[in-house]
């Protein structure tokens, strides 16, 4: 069991590609988080962890590091999933 846990890693965000896009990050809007479902998450072994959340017909991404928690705007799921894909392929930060 401990061996399994020790060897397990989730998705790692790769190094940023040249020409990557900088996303707009906002302060978390906690009071709106009444019905939020976690859809996907990058590996917590890294200093920066990204989580994809779904809330109704909208979605957003949260970025957490040691001293800050920020979120993207809540947008249509298809748009947010594309941003998520960009983050996971080093095309956005």
Is residue 45 a contact point for Zn ion (CB under 5 A)? yes
We find the least distance from the C-beta atom of residue 20 to Zn ion, in angstroms, to be 21
Nearest distance from residue 45's CB to Zn ion, in Å? 3
Q: Does 21 bind Zn ion (CB under 5 A)?
A: no
Among 9, 17, 32, 76, binds Zn ion (CB under 5 A): 9
Q: What DSSP state is assigned to residue 56?
A: T
b vs e for 64-86, b when ≥16 Cβ sit within 10 Å of the residue's Cβ?
A: beeeeeebbebeebeebbebbeb
Decide if 13 contacts 50 (C-beta within 8 A): yes
Number of residues this chain uses to bind Zn ion (CB under 5 A)? 3
Residues that bind Zn ion (CB under 5 A): 9, 43, 45
């Amino acid at each position: 069991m401990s061996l399994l846990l020790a060897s397990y890693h989730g998705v790692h965000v790769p190094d940023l590609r040249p020409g990557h896009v900088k996303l707009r990050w906002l302060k978390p809007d906690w009071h709106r988080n009444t019905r939020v479902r976690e859809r996907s998450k990058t590996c917590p072994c890294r200093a920066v962890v990204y989580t994809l959340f779904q809330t109704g017909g909208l979605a957003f991404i949260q970025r957490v590091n040691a001293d800050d928690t920020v979120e993207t705007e809540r947008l249509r799921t298809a748009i947010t999933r594309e941003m998520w894909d960009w983050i996971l392929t080093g095309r956005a930060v």
